């Protein structure tokens, strides 16, 4: 029987690449719902091609425009709107797999709804896990959800870990690889002057704007460090970061006996997406073969924590635990948007995040509402930092 897919963030980079893989296997997958934020024209096109039962737009005005448009052309896709609708299509008994491809903490509630409904959840939205941490993993356990990471590094580790009961027996450490982003090797002076356009040009991957900036500050690797710790129940001290500019080794697991297992491939998100969709089987993804004969040397080096403080801040937040992940993420979302809007210099991003972490020390939390109110408080403080001190950074 074919798997029915809900795709959160359908119009984004992960969303479109997921639809590319799905389109290669019409006998295996059927699109149940496509969800996005405001871009109704883009969603309209996807509805015509993939004929979902539901199209969801978070923004009601955009939803009204899509509804009119689809009615006029006689489409039988039903349009839903608002945040609650995102949760409804994620927890519906008519869907088997939910792809969490929304960017930022905006994905927390619909992703958790899918987890609580015990779905197979393909997680690209790392921020959802960074914000909710223990609560998220507890819900995975309590509701028997099947969580498969799509982030290429975590998907690599998922593939390299022992499969029986997902045991950690004999695992010594995880090695998360990082491309180093577009500013690897820059001097402090050069880094202080980088532009939005430069930050958005990633050397190896074509991604949405937020994660592209995160890759440039190395906050992406910081969020991934926290993500890996939760996903694989590994202590912060057991996860090392290795800069590997070619993005061919997607990450590694080192065992007690000295064996290191790596997952490799061309840098193409369709590989982890196909892996997550079909696991434990394997299906074609559209990615090209890795050609070892034309590969140039593979390099590995340490990350520069003094030039890229975001990685240090994320490690400290992971050590602090509790609400620190949510504060780190919220401040970073505000700072990245301010950088994209030209209100904050590149180096202002870590400064704003650090100030917010100092202002809101880590506390414990037991409910989603509690942690989402910390998220709001951190956003408000970070916004204030941008307004009052943005020019100084
Ligand atoms: P993107 O900006 O290209 O797309 C984001 C999607 O989320 C869009 O469909 C948008 O409509 C939707 N969205 C944004 N805000 C929303 C809201 N408030 N409510 C509902 N929908 C909303 O981003 P992306 O690059 O596809 O990244 C998505 C997630 O996947 C991020 O968490 C990112 O870190 C992660 N990720 C992406 C890649 C990649 O190659 N793009 C790789 C690894 C992990
Ligand atoms: Mg990644």
- 10 in ligand 1 pocket by Cβ < 6 Å? yes
Bridge partner residues of 8 (DSSP): 35, 100
The domain boundary, picked from 149, 175, 207, lies at 149
Looking at the structure, do residues 85 and 198 belong to the same domain, yes or no? no
Low-confidence ranges of the chain (pLDDT < 70): 165
- The answer as to whether 313 is a domain residue is no
Please give the residue range of the domain that contains residue 261: 166-308
Q: Which of 219, 179, 207, 212 is nearest to 196 (CA)?
A: 212
Classify residue 266 as exposed, middle or buried by CB count within 10 Å of its CB (0-12, 13-18, 19+): middle
User: What does DSSP say about strands 78-81 and 54-57: parallel, antiparallel, or unpaired?
Assistant: parallel
Instruction: Write the CA distances from 231 to 11, 133, 190, integer angstroms.
Output: 26, 9, 36
SS3 state of residue 343: coil
- The answer as to whether 154 is a domain residue is no
The domain boundary, picked from 118, 149, 180, lies at 149
Contacts 24+ apart (CB under 8 A), 377-384: 378/326, 378/327, 378/330, 378/331, 379/330, 379/331, 379/333, 379/334, 381/331, 381/355, 381/356, 382/330, 382/331, 382/334, 382/335, 382/352, 382/353, 382/355, 382/356, 383/334
- The answer as to whether 316 is a domain residue is no
Structural domain total, the chain: 3
- 11 in ligand 1 pocket by Cβ < 6 Å? yes
- Measured from the Cα of 11, ligand 1's closest atom is 9
Looking at the structure, do residues 345 and 245 belong to the same domain, yes or no? no
Looking at the structure, do residues 254 and 170 belong to the same domain, yes or no? yes
Among all chains, which residue has been given the structure tokens 């299906």? 283
Q: In this predicted structure, what is the pLDDT of residue 163?
A: 83
- Rounded to the nearest 10 degrees, what angle do helices 324-340 and 209-217 cross at? 110
Which pTM value belongs to this model?
0.98
How close is the Cα of 269 to the center of ligand 2, in Å? 9
Query: Which token pair is 248?
Result: 């061919």
**191-220 pLDDT, tens digit each:** 999 999 999 998 888 899 999 999 999 999
What CATH number does the domain containing 109 carry?
Answer: 3.40.50.720
- Measured from the Cα of 83, ligand 1's closest atom is 19
* Alpha helices in the chain, H assignment, sequence order: 13-23, 40-50, 60-72, 83-91, 108-116, 126-143, 152-160, 188-192, 196-199, 209-217, 219-232, 270-278, 309-320, 324-340, 348-359, 368-389
Among all chains, which residue has been given the structure tokens 């943005």? 390
Looking at the structure, do residues 247 and 110 belong to the same domain, yes or no? no
DSSP state letter for 89? H
Looking at the structure, do residues 301 and 349 belong to the same domain, yes or no? no
Give the ligand with the smallest distance to the CA of 108: 1
How close is the Cα of 209 to the center of ligand 1, in Å? 9
Residue 273's CB is within 10 A of a number of other CB atoms, namely: 28
Distance CA 57, CA 215 (A): 28
Q: In this predicted structure, what is the pLDDT of residue 165?
A: 62
- 207 in ligand 1 pocket by Cβ < 6 Å? yes
Looking at the structure, do residues 13 and 103 belong to the same domain, yes or no? yes
Query: Which token pair is 119?
Result: 């779905």
- The answer as to whether 256 is a domain residue is yes
- 151 in ligand 1 pocket by Cβ < 6 Å? yes
Q: In this predicted structure, what is the pLDDT of residue 203?
A: 82
């Amino acid at each position: 029987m074919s798997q029915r897919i809900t795709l959160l963030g359908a119009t984004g980079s992960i969303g479109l690449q997921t639809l590319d893989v799905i389109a290669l296997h019409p006998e295996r997958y059927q699109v149940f719902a496509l969800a996005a934020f405001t871009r109704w024209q883009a969603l309209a096109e996807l509805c015509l091609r993939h004929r979902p039962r539901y199209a969801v737009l978070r923004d009601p005005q955009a939803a009204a425009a899509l509804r009119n448009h689809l009615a006029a052309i006689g489409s039988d896709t039903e349009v839903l709107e608002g945040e609650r609708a995102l949760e409804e299509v994620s927890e519906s008994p008519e869907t088997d797999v939910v792809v969490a491809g929304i960017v930022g903490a905006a994905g927390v509630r619909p992703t958790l709804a899918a987890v609580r409904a015990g779905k197979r959840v393909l997680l690209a939205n790392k921020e959802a896990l960074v914000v909710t941490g223990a609560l998220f993993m507890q819900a995975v356990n309590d509701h028997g959800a099947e969580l498969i990471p799509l982030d290429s590094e975590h998907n690599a580790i998922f593939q390299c870990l022992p499969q029986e009961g997902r045991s950690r027996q004999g695992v010594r450490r995880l090695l998360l690889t990082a491309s180093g982003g577009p500013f690897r090797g820059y001097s402090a002076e050069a880094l202080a002057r980088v532009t939005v356009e430069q930050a958005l040009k990633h050397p190896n991957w074509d991604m949405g704007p937020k994660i592209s900036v995160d890759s440039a500050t190395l906050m992406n690797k910081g969020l991934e460090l926290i993500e890996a710790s939760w996903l694989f129940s590994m202590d912060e001290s057991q996860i090392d970061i290795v800069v590997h500019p070619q993005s061919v080794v997607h990450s590694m697991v080192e065992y007690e006996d000295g064996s290191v297992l790596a997952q490799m491939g061309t840098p193409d998100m369709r590989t982890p997406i196909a892996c997550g969709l079909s696991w434990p089987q394997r299906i074609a993804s559209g990615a090209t073969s890795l050609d070892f004969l034309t590969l140039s040397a593979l390099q590995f080096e340490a990350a520069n924590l003094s030039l890229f403080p975001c990685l240090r801040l994320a490690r400290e937040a992971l050590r602090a635990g509790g609400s620190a992940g949510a504060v780190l993420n919220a401040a970073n979302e505000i700072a990245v948007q301010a950088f994209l809007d030209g209100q904050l210099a590149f180096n202002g991003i870590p400064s704003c995040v650090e100030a917010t972490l100092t202002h809101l020390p880590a506390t414990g939390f037991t409910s989603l509402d509690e942690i989402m109110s910390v998220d709001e408080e951190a956003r408000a403080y970070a916004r204030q930092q941008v307004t009052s001190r943005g020019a100084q950074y």
